[in-house]
Amino acid sequence: MPDKRALQSNNGGKVAQASIHVLNGPNLNLLGEREPEIYGTATLADVERACRQLCEAVGVQLEFSQTNNEAELVDQIQAARASAGIVINPAGCSYSVPVLDALKACSAPIVEVHISNIHARSEAWRAETLTTAAAIGVISGLGVEGYGLALQFLLKGGAGRNA
């Protein structure tokens, strides 16, 4: 059970309800349809449902979003920068300098998630993500279950600010 005090943000003397953001990059709206042999058959709606159940069980607000637009992902990161935590699957934006710079501006702890094992993929370039540099940790290759593991880590208080 998380210490809710560790997840609350102070807003001018008012304690706001803790919120964790789960941000998803390009093409994840096609999860369950696109390359199921790599990404599985679960949909992004399935992922959101599981994430909401975890957060609701401990009274933490969840902001869940997906975009196919790099600039919009940067805006979402900036909006989440002082939250209780960010779980991000940047997908194709994993190689984006603007996304990395937005993540580096966050005080929120960040856990990066990749559904497939990016280090075992046949395309070697997939393992060279830029965004990983801004994360406390990376979960790669555990399927959509990686989202739940990342949330559990953050709900337990995570590790302060990113290393």
Q: pLDDT, tens digit, for every residue of 67-123?
A: 999 999 999 999 999 999 999 999 999 999 999 999 999 999 999 999 988 877 667
Q: What is the pTM of this model?
A: 0.87
Residue with tokens 């880590």: 153
Supply the residues annotated as catalytic. 39, 114
Chain centroid, CA 30 distance in Å: 17
User: DSSP of 12-54, one letter per residue?
Assistant: TTEEEPPEEEEEE-TTGGGTTTS-HHHH-S--HHHHHHHHHHH
pLDDT of the residue at 16: 52
pLDDT of the residue at 119: 78
CA end-to-end span of the chain:
24
Higher-pLDDT residue of 42 and 10 is 42
Residue 162 has pLDDT above 60, yes or no: no
Here the tokens at position 67 are 């975009």
Q: Which residues contact 125 (CB under 8 A, 6 or more apart)?
A: 95
Q: pLDDT, tens digit, for every residue of 1-11?
A: 344 444 544 44
Q: pLDDT, tens digit, for every residue of 121-157?
A: 667 666 689 999 999 999 999 999 999 999 999 999 8
